[in-house]
Chains A and B, each alone.
Chain A
Amino acid sequence: MNISINPIVALLIFPGGLCLLAYGLVYEFVDRKLIARFQNRVGPRWFQPLADFIKLLAKEEIIPASVNAALFIVLPILALAAALTAALYVPMFGLQPAYSFSGDLVVSLYLLSLMTLCIGLAGANTGDRFSLVGATRALTQLFSYEAPFLLAMLGPAIALGTWNIGTINSAAAHSWWFMITQPFGFLVALIGLMGKLELPPFDAPEAETEIVAGALTEYSGRGLGIFHIGRDIELVIGLTMISSFYMGGLSSPLDFLWKTLVLLLVTALLQSLFARLRIDQTVGMWWRVGTILVLVQLLVIIGGQYLAPLIKPLIGG
């Protein structure tokens, strides 16, 4: 679907900005509610994430004495800004991306990683033991899932011969779902997204029973609220990217809605099925299994592209 929107509107209200904030909160609610139901709990009411956010904004923000105050304040804003910017390059709500250029896939993936970097820095900025351990774990985890996740997202890009998200999105609609032709990539991308968002079972960086809230232990009030909503937005963007790449593209808002919600359902199921992995188990799993799976798949894709012209005349294609 192609609707031309005034760039300012696109940036601030729809599909970026306010609309995205609201959407992030809605998805957080759906996620929490689903997990609660899987765990036989009642779960939150629909406005709970919004209420949490407003409450956090209204609370006093305590800046610890030992931190670099400027960094402490800027980091959550930077994380949120990165997430919001990344949203402009992906087909939000099934519309054409608000902006696009030929290498925007790499840029948006980088913008998505900025969140984790900010969290890691935020943890390292404070002198708190739990924050330091949390930051170390967050960055360790970043190094473990980032490469496989990136490779998994490159799978469809290489197969379609373009690194432009908008083009991949529209081209994906005209071929088989990549979920079927590149199952490993899909799996790694989905689980990589869970690692990125530090969702269980990859929540070692913020394991409350060990290190309280991990890197964000010292954060309170506004900073914490902004980090939270940044993560919600990243959830939406991540789901949008994976469904547009691997689930046959997003051509309309309805398409967007059901595909991302199905993915969210799957992640919620995965979140409630497993016990938390230790950080060494996470790293081991990603490098021993995840990376190898996507590498094999990438080799198959690249090999296939070289072989296809050779085979085609033989089978009369």
Chain B
Amino acid sequence: METKHEPEKFIVSIGPQHPALKEPGHFEFTVDGEVVTNATARLGFVHRGMEKGTEARNYVQDLYLMERVCGICSHVHAMAFALGAEKLAGVQAPPRAQAIRELVAELERIHSHLLWLGVAAHEGGFDTLFMFSWRDRETVMDLLELISGNRVNYSANVLGGVKIDINDTQRDALHKGMDFLEERTHHYMKVVTEDETFLGRTRNIGLMTKAQAQLLGAVGPTARASGVKFDVRVDSPYAGYADFPVKLITEPAGDLEARFVVRINELYESYRLVREIIDHLPEGELSVRMPRRIPEGETISRVEAPRGELLYFMRSNGTDSPDRVKVRTPSLCNWASVLTLAVGHKLADMPMILAGIDPCFSCNDRMVTVNRGSNAENWSWEDLRKYGIAYYK
């Protein structure tokens, strides 16, 4: 009887279908009792071939496609694409358009952060906060509907400007909405920094030092909660951020509580920006003429999505459709931090640590590189479609 007994690993696999996950992803947590000893992630369940899709469409159509990369931060994707295309074409959108782009981006940040606050609270079993923050989020959803006609894909951008304008009734509604939300946000700030049971779930949980955050390449509020001073809006202002600058918000602590505090402080900053923009909206045109064919060239367009730095690489070949569009979403940068932080924590902390980076699965599942050894293949849109049909048959 010389059988060697490996200590049996108890793996709790979460997903692709699991109540904690609002979108499909697969995680395997190796646990020892309640303590997590290893964590792995498998992504790509909602790959939709969008990057490849852009090559088969022209720039105007692509704008609508890219707006649908993410359901929560739809505007920043369209804005990043439009800014990139404008840079390639050598066109500058008028100041009023840039300001409105920033306005919608900040409203979107408000809605995204409030949504995150609710989801994170729900992951921690605090459903009351979830219900309240989502109720208040309706305010900003209604405001977005008021100014753009849509609650989710606002479709505010066109190439060369924006298609929506702000009138006086909308300005008043925005002011009223911001006042209401600011008052509510004071309350949420109090809850996340003072509620004992909630602090028990967030304080000193998922601790990430500044050095770790930089090493793991974290971006956005996740990195800023560890004291990393990095915000694309501040470091390389785009759209209207040069005229209406934003204050950089960081927290030194690096735990889950800091991630809550950073996002709530960003909410205050967004309320301030929205007020400032609608009060000092530059006069002028909403859009300029954009050529259909965009001259050859390549560019990188960076914007700060609610979750962090969103990067678009675009290469044009002189035709009316791009040669290559590569999207790198903030969630992708933050995964490494989750998997590293998970080790040593309790299984019960996993949902909150996972939610702490505000993950967005659909955002980062787009293109899987098919690179089998030496015969790297270049797939056409049609090939990809056929592969997809065969794969899921």
Contact = CB atoms under 8 A, between A and B. Distances in A.
Say whether A and B bind each other.
Answer: yes
Interface of A: 38-41, 129-130, 133, 200-201, 203-204, 207-212, 272-281
A201 B201 CA distance: 12
6 tightest Cβ-Cβ pairs between the two chains A and B: A276-B125, A275-B126, A209-B20, A39-B131, A274-B197, A209-B351
Contacts of B348: 204, 207, 210, 276, 278-279
B67 interface: no
Interface in B123-159: 123-129, 131-132, 135
B123 A40 contact: no
A280 B201 CA distance: 11
A203 B18 CA distance: 17
A129 B10 CA distance: 8
B243 interface: no
A273 B128 CA distance: 7
Nearest to B195: A275
Contacts of B31: 133
Given A204-B348, A210-B350, A272 B125 contact: no
8 contacts: A200-B125, A203-B125, A207-B125, A209-B351, A210-B351, A275-B200, A276-B201, A276-B348
A210 B12 CA distance: 10
Nearest to A204: B348
Given A129-B11, A209-B351, A278-B201, A201 B128 contact: no
Interface in B38-77: none
Nearest to B119: A209
Contacts of A278: 200-201, 346, 348-349
Interface residues of B, number: 32
A133 B131 contact: no
A211 B34 CA distance: 12
B236 interface: no
A201 B127 CA distance: 10
A200 B127 contact: yes
A212 B123 CA distance: 12
B132 A39 contact: yes
A201 B125 contact: yes
B347 interface: yes
Contacts of A280: 34, 346
B198 interface: yes
A272 B126 CA distance: 8
Given A210-B351, A277-B197, A40 B10 contact: no
A129 B195 contact: no
Interface in B154-211: 195, 197-198, 200-201
B123 A209 contact: yes
B19 interface: yes
A279 B34 contact: yes
A180 B291 CA distance: 81
A209 B120 CA distance: 10
A41 B118 CA distance: 14
A133 B347 contact: yes
Contacts of B350: 210
B12 A129 contact: yes
B13 interface: yes
Contacts of B326: none
Interface string B4-18: 000000111100001
Most chain B beta-carbon neighbours within 10 Å: one of A129, A210, A281: A210
A200 B19 CA distance: 17
Contact of A276 (B124, B132, B347): B124
Given A200-B127, A204-B348, A277-B197, A209 B34 contact: no
A279 B34 CA distance: 9
Given A39-B131, A272-B127, A210 B20 contact: yes
B12 A209 contact: no
Nearest to A278: B348
A278 B200 CA distance: 9
B128 A209 contact: no
